[in-house]
């Protein structure tokens, strides 16, 4: 039996799956390159042009169509969009996440919530924003609601998975002592998963900032993303895109440093 | 003493709630978000989508065109992720503390990863539009650069996690650098790395829609075209095809992940 397993090892299910997925990815990649619609782009010239463009962007940044303070204000609008969607998303996701966790909710409810959340997640954020834009008009309302939809679905998955990892014994102990559902949630579930909740929520905040930039560009949500879209699509001003990119980069790197610090702190305390 | 601890804890959480509340209020003011409008727009959007946003028999005629664009978008996402994964693997080997050649390359590749990770795909899309125009390659390179930063970071963490002791063991036997990489690092890290690549493919298909909207190519452009023409029935068909393909890919990658991890 053991010998059989040992001799089979090189062809175990997992190594076959690994080889097969590498092979499939390679074949798909080659096929993709063969089937691209190149539209007479000269690859080498375009790559050189890109390098040249990046040089203009990063080494000659300037602001022409708005001032430094205006840019700072637009960045804060983008940050505000990200913050609102994260907070709204976290509040709704916390409630839904509790109902979706298999160990503290009924099985059928958990399946229903997880399934619908997976469907919501499958629709790209920008499509949610555009769908809501028909009802609410282009602007911050549609952007916040659409982005919140996506944040909820992402966080419900993350939260409910960390709720499900909680030690069964602790829940049973409280149930045996006659605690009701709310007491179990507030005495066991939330305290023992709070570090996960915080780090997932902050990670979503980072993602939402990038999404908010993109929504400004693609769905007219305002903020720095919209200015970047104007600089690219209307003024063809690479140097301005460069300056805006520096603004976005600055905020994104600050958020990342902050996130690493939060993670380190949570790890020490837990 | 214990009463003090609880009082302090309560004070701390009250302060945190006040801070979050204040930040929310400030955000509402600067983004000019109206809660009332937000709340009413959800039922309005549901009502609208139930009465307009579904495919009709006529819109099915456009299905072949949509599927061609969808296939193109899926292939772009896969190809961009795979090649970005290969490049990210090289950078991760150089950047990981256990396998780096020297401190200079280590710092350099980590720096490149930070830079690429924090520039979003939407920025890449807008910049690359200048040199590649409205072709598939714009989307391809935007996704490629975006995935590269993320995967480098993920791979560095994976390599650091799995291969510390086995690398040292091989090094003491006098194995060469390439032997260490091919015999120890790759075998122990590959299931995790494939899992990350699959995750990135899922993300990239969603991102491809956005990039397509911005650069006028692929399925995102198709959606935008019908959406702007107010042909909501066809636009909804586009959304449905996107949902089906993303759910399928999620199911496949969940299955693969279960088998290999």
| pLDDT at residue A47, as a whole number | 86
Section A243-251 average pLDDT: 90
CA angle (A152, A158, A159) in 5-degree steps:
85
CB A164 within 8 A of CB A106: no
Instruction: Enumerate residues 154 to 193 of chain A having a beta carbon within 8 A of any beta carbon in chain B.
Output: none
Question: B93 in contact with A at a CB cutoff of 8 Å?
Answer: no
Enumerate the residues of chain A whose CB falls inside 8 A of the CB of residue B223: 127, 130
The model's pTM is 0.87
Query: Which of B147, B143, B149, B113 minimizes the C-alpha distance to B128?
Result: B143
Out of B32, B37, B210, the one facing A214 most closely (by C-beta) is B210
CA B99 to chain A, closest CA, distance in angstroms equals 23
pLDDT digits over A183-226, tens only? 888 888 888 888 889 989 999 999 999 999 999 888 877 888 88
pLDDT digits over B225-249, tens only? 888 888 888 999 999 999 999 999 9
User: Between chains, do A241 and B123 touch, taking CB under 8 Å as contact?
Assistant: yes
Report the C-alpha gap between A54 and A59 in whole angstroms. 8
CB A121 within 8 A of CB A180: no
Question: B187 in contact with A at a CB cutoff of 8 Å?
Answer: no
| pLDDT at residue A15, as a whole number | 84
Phi, psi (degrees; rounded to nearest 5) at B220: -60, -40
| pLDDT at residue A147, as a whole number | 92
| pLDDT at residue A112, as a whole number | 94
Share of chain A above pLDDT 70, in %: 93
pLDDT digits over A21-61, tens only? 899 999 999 998 888 767 667 778 888 888 888 888 888 88
Least confident of A126-130, A161-165, A260-264, B18-22: A260-264
CA B13 to chain A, closest CA, distance in angstroms equals 13
- Best probe of the A interface among B20, B33, B85, by most A CBs < 10 A, is B33
Query: Which of A89, A214, A223, A219 minimizes the C-alpha distance to A154?
Result: A89
- Best probe of the A interface among B87, B131, B200, B248, by most A CBs < 10 A, is B131
Q: Residue A2 above 50 pLDDT?
A: no
Name the residue in chain A with its Cα closest to that of B259: A14
Question: B122 in contact with A at a CB cutoff of 8 Å?
Answer: yes
Enumerate the residues of chain A whose CB falls inside 8 A of the CB of residue B259: 13-14, 17
Contacts of B174 (CB under 8 A, 6+ apart): none
| pLDDT at residue A152, as a whole number | 95
Segments of chain B with pLDDT less than 50: none
Q: Residue A1 above 60 pLDDT?
A: no
User: Model confidence at A5, in pLDDT bands (50, 70, 90)?
Assistant: very low
List for chain B the helix, strand, coil content (%; round to 5).
90, 0, 10
Section A1-23 average pLDDT: 69
Report the C-alpha gap between B218 and A118 in whole angstroms. 23
């Amino acid at each position: 039996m053991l010998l059989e397993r040992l001799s089979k090892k090189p062809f175990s299910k997992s190594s076959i799956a690994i080889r097969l997925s590498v092979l499939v990815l390679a074949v798909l990649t080659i096929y993709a390159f063969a089937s691209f619609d190149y539209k007479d782009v000269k690859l080498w010239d375009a790559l050189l042009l890109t390098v040249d463009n990046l040089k203009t962007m990063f080494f000659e940044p300037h602001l022409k169509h708005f001032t430094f303070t205006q840019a700072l204000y637009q960045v804060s609008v983008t940050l505000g969009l990200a913050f609102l969607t994260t907070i709204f998303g976290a509040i709704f996701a916390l409630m839904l996440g509790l109902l979706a966790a298999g160990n503290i909710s009924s099985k059928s409810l958990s399946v229903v919530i997880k399934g619908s959340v997976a469907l919501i997640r499958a629709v790209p954020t920008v499509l949610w924003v555009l769908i809501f834009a028909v009802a609410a008009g282009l602007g911050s309302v549609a952007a916040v609601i659409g982005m919140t939809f996506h944040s909820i679905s992402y966080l419900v998955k993350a939260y409910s998975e960390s709720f499900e990892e909680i030690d069964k014994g602790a829940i049973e102990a409280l149930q045996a002592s006659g605690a009701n559902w709310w007491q179990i949630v507030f005495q066991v579930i939330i305290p023992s998963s709070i570090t996960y909740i915080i780090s997932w929520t902050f990670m979503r905040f980072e993602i939402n900032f990038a999404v908010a930039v993109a929504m400004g560009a693609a769905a007219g949500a305002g903020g720095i993303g919209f200015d970047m879209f104007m600089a690219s699509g209307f003024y063809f001003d690479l140097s301005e895109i460069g300056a805006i990119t520096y603004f976005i980069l600055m905020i994104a790197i600050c958020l990342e440093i902050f996130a690493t610090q939060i993670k380190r702190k949570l790890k020490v305390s837990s | 003493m214990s009463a003090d601890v609880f009082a302090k804890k309560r004070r701390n959480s009250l302060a945190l709630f006040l801070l979050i509340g204040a930040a929310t209020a400030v955000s509402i003011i600067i983004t000019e978000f109206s809660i009332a409008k937000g709340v009413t727009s959800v039922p309005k959007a549901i009502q609208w989508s139930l009465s307009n946003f579904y495919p009709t028999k006529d819109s099915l005629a456009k299905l072949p065109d949509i599927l061609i664009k969808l296939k193109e978008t899926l292939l772009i996402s896969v190809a961009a992720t795979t090649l970005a994964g290969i490049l990210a693997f090289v950078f991760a080997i150089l950047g990981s503390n256990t396998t780096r050649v020297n401190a200079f390359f280590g710092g350099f590749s980590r720096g490149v990863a930070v830079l690429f990770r924090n520039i979003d795909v939407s920025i890449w899309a807008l910049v690359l539009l200048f040199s590649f125009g409205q072709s598939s390659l714009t989307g391809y390179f935007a996704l490629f650069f975006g995935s590269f930063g993320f995967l480098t970071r993920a791979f560095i963490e994976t390599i650091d996690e799995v291969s510390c002791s086995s690398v040292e063991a091989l090094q003491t036997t006098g194995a060469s650098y390439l032997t260490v990489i091919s015999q120890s690092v790759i075998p122990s890290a590959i299931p995790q790395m494939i899992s990350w690549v699959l995750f990135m493919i899922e993300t990239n298909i969603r991102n491809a829609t956005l990039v397509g909207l911005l650069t006028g190519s692929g399925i995102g452009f198709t959606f935008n075209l019908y959406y702007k023409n107010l042909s909501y029935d066809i636009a909804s068909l586009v959304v449905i095809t996107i949902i089906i393909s993303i759910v399928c890919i999620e199911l496949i990658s969940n299955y693969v992940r279960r088998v290999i991890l």
